[in-house]
């Protein structure tokens, strides 16, 4: 949604997903984010996720290979 940035929609959605996972007994959450999405990485960092790995050239999009950044949060 173009009007969603900076309105708390992402934070509310991720919080609800984490609460659901926690209620279901999950121990951790892993986020996979494009290496070319620094805003997505920063958002997850603000939500308490930490960088655990980068998978180089994990996928191809727009005719070029991109890294996959993995971030983890213990619930």
Number of structural domains (the chain) is 1
Q: What's the whole-model pTM score?
A: 0.88
Residue at 2 is within a domain:
no
CATH of the domain at 17: 3.40.630.30
The strand order across the sheet containing 50-61 reads: 28-34, 64-74, 50-61
pLDDT on residue 7: 82
Strand spans (E) along 17-63:
28-34, 50-61
Tell me what pLDDT residue 40 has: 97
Note whether residue 24 is domain-resident. yes
- Contact partners, residue 15, CB within 8 Å, separation at least 6: 47
Question: Does residue 32 lie within any of the structural domains?
Answer: yes
Phi first, then psi, for residue 41 (nearest 5°) are -65, -40
Contact between 16 and 22 under an 8 Å Cβ cutoff? The reply is no
Residues with pLDDT less than 50, the chain: none
Tell me if residue 26 falls in helix, strand or coil: coil
Is 1 contained in some domain? no
pLDDT reported for residue 6: 75
Q: Residue 69 sits in which domain range? A: 9-74
Confirm whether 40 is domain-assigned.
yes
Does the residue 57 lie in any domain? yes
Q: Which three-class secondary structure state does DSSP give residue 46? A: helix
Q: Is residue 30 situated within a structural domain?
A: yes
Domain membership flag for residue 4:
no
């Amino acid at each position: 949604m173009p009007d969603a940035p900076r309105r708390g929609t992402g934070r509310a959605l991720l919080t609800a997903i984490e609460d659901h996972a926690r209620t279901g007994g999950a121990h951790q959450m892993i986020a996979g984010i494009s290496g070319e999405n620094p805003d997505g990485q920063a958002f997850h960092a603000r939500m308490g996720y930490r960088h655990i790995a980068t998978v180089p050239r994990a996928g191809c999009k727009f005719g070029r290979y991109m890294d996959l950044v993995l971030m983890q949060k213990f619930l």
